[in-house]
Amino acid sequence: MALALVIVPLAFAAAAAAMPWQKWRPWLLPACGAVHLAMTIAALGRPEVSAIGGWLKLDALGRLVLALVSVLFFACSLYAPGYLALRAERSNRVFVPCLLFFLAMNSLIVEAQHLGLMWVAIEATTLASAPLIHYNHHARSIEATWKYLLIGSVGIALALFGTFFLAYAALRAGLGTSLFFPDLVREAPRLSRPWLHSAFVLLFVGYGTKMGLAPMHTWKPDAYGEAPGIVGTLLAGALTSCAFLALLRFFQIVSAAGEAAFARQLMIGIGLLSMAVGGVFMARQRDYKRMLAYSSVEHMGILVLGVGIGGLGVFGALLHLVNNAITKGVLFLSAGNIHRAYGSKSTEDVRGALRRLPFSGALFLAGFFAATGSPPFAPFLSEFTIVRAAMTSGHAIVGGLFLLMLAIVFIGMGGAVLSVVQGEPPAEGPSGYHDRLGTIAPILLLMAIVLFLGIYVPAPLVALVQKAATFVEVKP
């Protein structure tokens, strides 16, 4: 099962690359998405899922991230045939296999128990997503791809640097050569401290670049702004979650070594900075897709901030990981529809989306309320949990700043979103796009999940998040 979660999407990717029929190729996506989701559900039901002598194993953290990646990919895969049918003029021969390969590598990141293997898988996602961002092949998408590749590669190189530092810490402690996470966590108290600290900083910067934390976020607005909505969803929902998982694996090692306080300060600082940068740049944003990228920067900040606060905060952050990924799906996909209909991403040209596209416009608006933490949507619960954790654990100032940033974000993002959805729509553009079942139903599905999780968090999910939180925060 552990192996199949990686192999099956790879097989689908190979099939998609070999398939000669442009029209039918997109349908491999929902097929693979459904199989992957079924396998994920089966895997979550089993107590032990591992393969290749422990190189792949689903642990508590992996289960949570795998579940969210699989659900998100499934929704995107339902959206894909409708979207690609609208883009029939452009070949999907690279696009579809890359999406499937991307899914395979996400499964691999989640399951990898070896430092090196996880790094290779994350590197592979960077390379797989470059052609996805470049899909539109115009000057701006080349620019975005170039920045994404260059900054992403530097981040990955730094992560490798950090990996070597960590390996050296183990070597220095005379621990032999195992780079398996369970071994590193068990032996963490004996790791050499100066090397461990340097390793964590490098890994934090490296994988933080991949997550898009400020100040390493500069690729994000360009990449998310130019990529198709479906790619934006997977980058902002799935890939960033996998990068966060990588960060948490190292946080786990550092806390097992009894050095959590050191990591926490870093995480709180960068978390607040990311929220501030997201809020400020959202406020003066004239491009609603770039605005979503800054919203992603802000939410990445919330995630590391939650872990930095610790205790209940870790639980809140992991719950928020799920909520953020699903909400981002709603926002990016509906923004993609609006972009298609108006042929513009500027808030100056796009008005009256609620009139022109009643469904996409309404979903975009609802997604905005969800992303900014308004009740009754799910992110409200997780953000509230993080605030409560901050207030009850002596981080009152951090909690206050957190609330302030949320208010700034709400006002900043609200201005742009309202100007998109309200008002009188301009004359019909050349695209002639109208909402249809294929491009609306998947977003409705995601929105329903966001709403449902905001009203009632089912016990299995609570258990999943709780186990992952205890798993991450090991006591030395």
Phi, psi of 50 (to 5 degrees): -150, 165
* In the complex, least distance from residue 251 CB atom to other proteins, rounded to whole angstroms: 21
* In the complex, least distance from residue 192 CB atom to other proteins, rounded to whole angstroms: 6
* Cβ-based nearer residue to other proteins, 14 or 34: 14
* In the complex, least distance from residue 428 CB atom to other proteins, rounded to whole angstroms: 27
* In the complex, least distance from residue 279 CB atom to other proteins, rounded to whole angstroms: 14
For 114, what's the count of Cα atoms within 13 Å in the CB-facing half-sphere? 13
CA distance 90 to 94: 10
* In the complex, least distance from residue 285 CB atom to other proteins, rounded to whole angstroms: 8
* Cβ-based nearer residue to other proteins, 278 or 316: 278
* In the complex, least distance from residue 277 CB atom to other proteins, rounded to whole angstroms: 11
Name the β-bridge partners of 57: 50
Task: Point out which residues bind other proteins (CB under 8 A).
Answer: 116, 119-120, 123-124, 127, 130, 134, 137-140, 142-147, 149-150, 153-154, 156-157, 160-161, 164-165, 167-168, 171-172, 176-177, 179, 192, 194-195, 198, 221-222, 225-226, 281, 284-285
* Cβ-based nearer residue to other proteins, 393 or 419: 419
* Cβ-based nearer residue to other proteins, 128 or 307: 128
State the helix-helix crossing angle for 358-371 and 378-392, rounded to 10 degrees: 10
* In the complex, least distance from residue 222 CB atom to other proteins, rounded to whole angstroms: 4
* Cβ-based nearer residue to other proteins, 150 or 261: 150
* Cβ-based nearer residue to other proteins, 157 or 444: 157
* In the complex, least distance from residue 28 CB atom to other proteins, rounded to whole angstroms: 23
CA distance 26 to 404: 44
CA distance 431 to 270: 42
Report yes or no: 129 and 231 within 8 Å, Cβ to Cβ: yes
* In the complex, least distance from residue 203 CB atom to other proteins, rounded to whole angstroms: 13
Report residue 35 as tokens: 């199989």
SS3 432: coil
Query: How many residues appear in the chain?
Result: 476
* Cβ-based nearer residue to other proteins, 199 or 363: 199
* In the complex, least distance from residue 362 CB atom to other proteins, rounded to whole angstroms: 29
SS3 235: helix
CA distance 457 to 453: 5
* Cβ-based nearer residue to other proteins, 27 or 164: 164
What are the start-end ranges of the H helices in 310-436?
Answer: 312-342, 353-356, 358-371, 378-392, 396-421
* In the complex, least distance from residue 165 CB atom to other proteins, rounded to whole angstroms: 7
Nearest to 84 by CA among 102, 97, 71, 72: 97
* Cβ-based nearer residue to other proteins, 145 or 323: 145
* Cβ-based nearer residue to other proteins, 283 or 461: 283
Cβ contacts of residue 269 below 8 Å, gap of 6+? none
SS3 305: helix
* Cβ-based nearer residue to other proteins, 156 or 309: 156
DSSP annotation of 112 reads B
Nearest to 472 by CA among 319, 198, 250: 250
CA distance 157 to 176: 24
* In the complex, least distance from residue 305 CB atom to other proteins, rounded to whole angstroms: 24
DSSP annotation of 134 reads G
Nearest to 239 by CA among 83, 101, 58: 101
> Which residue's entry shows tokens 């990717």?
13
> Which residue's entry shows tokens 């980058």?
235
Nearest to 380 by CA among 320, 325, 321: 320
Cβ contacts of residue 420 below 8 Å, gap of 6+? 288, 338, 347, 350, 351, 353, 361, 364
* Cβ-based nearer residue to other proteins, 177 or 348: 177
